Amino acid sequence: MISIYEERAKNPECLVDLHKISYQHVFPTTFEKMRVSFAAEILSNSVSVVLQNNGHYEFANFVKAVDHFFDICNSSRNQNNPQKAPIQSIEDSRLTWLENDFINYFLKWQESVEKRKKKNGDEFTKVEKEKMVLSVATREGLMFTAKSLVNITKETMEAGADYVCLRRLSQDVLESFFGHVRCMGRSNRNPNLLDFGYRAHNINFTKNLKKFFV
């Protein structure tokens, strides 16, 4: 990715096919690495096409798969892109893709790395193999999320929903709640079960008081 960007940066006219990618995308600071928008713009279909045209086929397939995953996760109403349209059936091809193709992609990737050997026939070390594939946390997180989205969608529609917009699914509220629980402990960032119950009770009690007096 760096070599392709640097090659095209020498001739600005060639950056048309990488119009979403800037210097900050390729050489991000520590803070910029946490920007979700940068990840979405790099792992996009336009970048996949550039990688494909430059012979980086496996990398292009990965970017294309993640881009498709992002599109499905952003499904909502009033979308011109059919991949981002609401899911209206448990037989939707996008659910099948998530449950089969997307998950199997990472399983096959890991399997191919395990079978791979050096040109002289020697085995790669564990550290070398880990550099050939996504980290365990990232890989399992993506597969778990895909499976969870499929299950949530099917359960919601079987309960009577006409459609599901995956973009509306968020765990921000839950993360905010746990953040409040941790902050209440001050220096104690790892509460036990009793501490957690006490803090959660105080949070709920405080919210109820605000509703009562307001």
Residues pairing with 116 in the sheet:
none
**Does the pLDDT at position 153 exceed 90?**
yes
pLDDT at 12: 61
> Does 124 lie in the same domain as 182?
no
Tell me, what's the pLDDT at 160? 92
pLDDT tens-place string over residues 39-85: 888 888 888 888 888 888 999 999 999 999 999 998 887 667 888 88
Mean pLDDT of 118-143: 90
Both tokens of 195, joined, read: 């501490």
- Are residues 181 and 191 in contact, defined by beta-carbon separation less than 8 angstroms? yes
- Based on the fold, state whether residues 164 and 176 are members of the same structural domain: no
Where a domain ends, among 73, 90, 124?
A: 73
Residue type at 20 in one-letter notation: K
Q: What is the pLDDT of residue 169?
A: 84
Assigned token pair, 61 = 């397939």
Q: Any idea which residue has 């600071």 for tokens?
A: 29
The pTM assigned to this predicted structure is 0.76
On whether both 164 and 175 belong to a single domain, the answer is no
Same domain flag for 142 and 126: yes
Residue 120 has pLDDT above 70, yes or no: yes
Quick one: residue 99, left, alpha or beta (phi over 0 = left, psi -120 to 50 = alpha)? alpha
Give the Cα-Cα-Cα angle 36, 60, 119 (nearest 5 degrees): 120
| Local structure of 117: helix, strand or coil | strand
How much is the average pLDDT of 130-135?
90
Q: Tokens representing 44?
A: 């996009």
Q: In this structure, are 164 and 178 located in the same domain? A: no
Name the domain count of the chain.
3
Q: pLDDT, tens digit, for every residue of 178-213?
A: 888 888 776 676 778 888 888 888 887 676 555 545
pLDDT for 97 beyond 60? yes
CA distance 135 to 141: 10
Range of 142's domain?
76-169
Query: Do both 145 and 198 map to the same domain?
Result: no
What mean pLDDT, rounded, does the chain reach? 85
Q: Say whether both 162 and 177 belong to one domain.
A: no
Question: Do residue 182 and residue 201 come from a single domain?
Answer: yes
Residue 174 CB burial class (10 angstroms; 0-12, 13-18, ≥19): exposed
Of the candidates 213, 182, 187, the residue with the CA atom closest to the CA atom of residue 200: 182
Q: Are residues 202 and 124 both part of a single domain? A: no
Look at phi and psi of residue 78 and say left if phi exceeds 0, alpha if psi is from -120 to 50, else beta. Answer: left
Answer yes or no: do 161 and 179 share one domain: no
